[in-house]
Amino acid sequence: MMVGLDAPGKTTILYKLKLGDIVTTIPTIGFNVETVSLHSRTYTLWDVGGPDKIRPLWRHYYAGIDASIFVIDSNDIPRMEEAISELRRLTSAEELTNVPCLIFANKQDLPGALPPEEIARMIGLTLRPEMLMHVQGSIATQGVGLAEGFAWLNSVLDALGK
């Protein structure tokens, strides 16, 4: 399951992984789902829309997932607190206990984008490194950081026996 506020690049990530190219996207109302193979593992990725009216529906996608992916627009400073609040809501859900969360700090190519280390600090990962979370800088339109993020996720899923 891949979630985040509206417009951080979730759909761009999904189709960059699936097609190896960028596609023209429109705001996701509902979801997109694709199967992609990465690092000798097949992932079924659910890209769930992020507008605030849709976010309460995210919980319907929690059952049976092995991992979650949260995408943050690193350049959207005015909504960073809102993004982190939604991330905390996601990771505190009882159904997602012991489910790893890969966080893409996307749009790192834009001026003023917060670096992944700063976002990790804001989330509190620097104080709790044992958490099953990882912040990976990314530039979805170029594919930068995507393979590295999924390499981390793969290693955690392997360690968890999933």
List, as residue ranges, the binding site for GTP.
4-11, 50, 106-109
Distance separating the N- and C-terminal Cα atoms of the chain: 15
Specify the residue for token string 């769930």: 48
Q: Which residues are annotated as a binding site?
A: 4-11, 28, 50, 106-109
Q: What is the DSSP string of 54-112?
A: TGGGGGGG-TT-S-EEEEEETT-GGGHHHHHHHHHHHHT-GGGTT--EEEEEE-TTSTT
Distance CA 132, CA 135 (A): 10
Specify the residue for token string 């596609």: 23
Q: Which residues are annotated as a binding site for Mg(2+)?
A: 11, 28
CB count in 10 Å sphere of residue 120:
20
